[in-house]
């Protein structure tokens, strides 16, 4: 796996730190940081996308497990940045089932700056349920690459666009190229998937039913 570069790490203190007093308690262990982010996500996110009412309770528990597993792939300083910047990571099955009518780049994440939400590709399946062809960002993409590009997009301050769309595209060399695109650059996908204009937060937009 690629490490987040030293240059980007030097930006952390200046760019990714909220003002806080000496009395504030900031969790420092990976386990504590993950607990904060999972709790934040459970309070805000639509955790039962496409589930029948009878499955909501078990679906919420499964969501928390999948998110916890995904966050466990990240470095502690990356998790610390998410906590300090008040960014809520949300698993988003809408990215898995998007329909743009083309074999275009995979949308693996969307950062909604105004809502401080980072939506991440999720197929709704636990690792034990995945088939050979099932894709899930937590296991099949290099998360360090994805977050390194997020840092790069933010390192000069707030994004000039309220929505940054993270894409991954396979090259002929089989290398995976990650890019953060603006909503203007992804108009075709957004026209065919208007629900993606809104973050996957509870009560904000109807969830897309899954099969």
Q: What is the pLDDT of residue 158?
A: 59
Q: What is the pLDDT of residue 17?
A: 44
pLDDT digits (tens, 9 = 90+) for 44-75: 998 876 554 555 566 788 899 989 988 887 87
DSSP 166: E
Q: How confident is the model at residue 14 (pLDDT cuts 50, 70, 90)?
A: very low
The two three-digit tokens of residue 164, written as one number: 């940054």
Q: Is the pLDDT of residue 41 over 90?
A: yes
Mean pLDDT of 169-179: 68
93 touches 208 (CB < 8 A): yes
Terminal Cα-to-Cα distance of the chain (whole angstroms): 33
Q: How far apart are CA 56 and CA 74, in angstroms?
A: 28
Q: Is the pLDDT of residue 37 over 90?
A: yes
Please give the mean pLDDT across all residues of the chain. 72
Q: What is the pLDDT of residue 198?
A: 92
Convert 125-149 to b/e letters by CB count within 10 Å (16 or more is b).
beeeeeeeeeebbbeebebbbbbbb
Sheet of strand 176-182, all strands in order from the earlier edge strand to the far edge: 88-92, 117-121, 106-112, 163-170, 176-182
Q: Is the pLDDT of residue 33 over 90?
A: yes
- Does 86 or 73 have the greater pLDDT score? 86
Q: How confident is the model at residue 202 (pLDDT cuts 50, 70, 90)?
A: confident
Q: What percent of the chain has pLDDT over 90?
A: 19
pTM: 0.73
Q: How confident is the model at residue 162 (pLDDT cuts 50, 70, 90)?
A: confident
């Amino acid at each position: 796996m690629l490490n987040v570069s030293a240059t980007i790490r030097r930006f952390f203190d200046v760019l990714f730190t909220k003002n806080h007093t000496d009395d504030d308690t900031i969790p420092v262990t990976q386990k504590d940081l993950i607990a904060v982010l999972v709790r934040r996500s459970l309070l805000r996110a639509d955790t039962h996308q496409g589930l029948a009412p009878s499955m909501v309770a078990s679906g919420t528990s499964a969501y928390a497990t999948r998110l916890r597993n995904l966050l466990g792939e990240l470095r502690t300083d990356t998790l610390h940045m998410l906590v300090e910047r008040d960014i809520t990571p949300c698993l988003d099955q809408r990215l898995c089932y998007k329909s743009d009518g083309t074999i275009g780049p995979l949308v693996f994440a969307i950062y909604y700056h105004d809502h401080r939400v980072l939506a991440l590709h999720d197929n709704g399946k636990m690792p034990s349920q995945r088939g050979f062809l099932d894709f899930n960002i937590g296991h099949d993409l290099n998360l360090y690459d994805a977050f390194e590009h997020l840092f790069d997009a933010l390192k000069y301050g707030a994004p000039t666009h309220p929505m940054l769309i993270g894409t991954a595209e396979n090259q002929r060399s089989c290398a995976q190229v990650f890019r953060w695109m603006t909503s203007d650059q992804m108009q075709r996908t957004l026209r065919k998937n208007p629900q993606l204009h809104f973050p996957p937060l509870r009560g904000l937009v109807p969830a897309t039913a899954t099969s």
